[in-house]
Amino acid sequence: MKTVIIMLGMMSLITENSYGFGSRRSSGGSTTPSTPAPTQPAPPNSDIGTGGLKVVIRESNRFSSSGLALLEKARVALEKAVNSEEFKQKVLHFTYDGQETYVQNNGLTNLQIYNKIMAGAEEFPSQTAANNTMDLYTEYYTSSWFGRNVVGYTSPDTSTIFMNSYFFNYATPDGVAGNMIHEWLHKLGFDHDYNSTARRPASVPYAVGYIAEEIAAKY
C-alpha cells in the first residue's frame, strides 16, 4: 500500500513537469508572458505601452559555429541598445538640416518612427502583426570580389537579410548589430539613396543603424 502511494506521488510530479511551469500557472492567473523579458527594463513609454522590443533571430542560414556565436552576441547587444533610454532620446531628437526629422521618413515624425520601430510590425515581404519583436531572418553569403564592399543587403520580396562574408568575418558584435537593424528597417518600409549622397546618412536605415551600433558597442 505504501509503495502505491509513492508511485502516485511520482506520477503527479511527472505530469506537472510535462506541462512545464505547471506550478506557476496554478499560482494566481498571472498574465506574465512566458518569453523572457528584455535584460534591461524598457524605458517608461506611454506612447506604445509595451515592455520594449524583443530581438529574435528566426533563421540563421549558412553561418559557421563561430559566425552563429557572433550573431548571438550582436543580437544581445542590439536588444539592449534598442531598449535603452539613450536609443529613444537619440532616435526622437535626430536632426537633419536643423530640423528634428529624417530624410525619406515616409511622412512620419521622429516619434512616429520610434513607435513604429518598437511595434515591430514588418511590412515586407508582407504585413505582419505588431508583436513588439524585431524578427530577423539572416543568411551568410560570399559575394564576388566586385561585391566585397557590400556589408549586407535585402530586398522587399524576402524576409531574409543577407550578410556578406567580406564584412562579417571581420565584424564586431556592434557592427553586426548595426547591420541587422539597418536591413530590418527596410522591412519596415524605410529606404535610402542607393548612392552615397550627402543626405543618405540621415535616412532612417542609416541614421538609426548608426545610433544602435554606437549604443550596442557599450554592451
Q: How far is the CB of 117 from Zn ion (least distance, A)?
A: 15
Nearer to Zn ion by C-beta: 20 or 156? 156
- What one-letter code names the amino acid at 159? S
Q: For residue 162, list its beta bridge partners.
A: 139, 153
CB of residue 153 to Zn ion, shortest distance in Å: 7
Cα gap 207→83, rounded to integer Å: 17
Indicate the residue whose CB is closest to Zn ion: 205
Beta carbon of residue 185, minimum distance to Zn ion (angstroms, whole number): 8
Shorter beta-carbon distance to Zn ion: residue 120 or 205: 205
Of 204 and 215, CB closest to Zn ion: 204
Closest contact distance (angstroms) between CB of 32 and Zn ion is 37
Q: Nearer to Zn ion by C-beta: 54 or 186? A: 186
Phi, psi of 139 (to 5 degrees): -145, 135
Q: Are 134 and 76 in contact (CB under 8 A)?
A: no
Which CB sits closer to Zn ion, 52 or 205? 205
Joined grid coordinates for residue 145:
570580389
CB of 58 to Zn ion, least distance (A): 20
Please report how close the Cβ of residue 133 comes to Zn ion at its closest, in angstroms: 21
List residues binding Zn ion (CB under 5 A): 205
Neighbours of 5 (CB within 10 A): 9
Whole-number Å distance between alpha carbons of 190 and 112: 13
How would you classify residue 29: left for phi > 0, otherwise alpha for psi between -120 and 50, otherwise beta? left
Residue 39: is it exposed, middle or buried by C-beta count within 10 angstroms (0-12/13-18/19+)?
Answer: exposed
Distance CA 91, CA 61 (A): 31
Q: Which is nearer to Zn ion, 67 or 205 (CB)?
A: 205
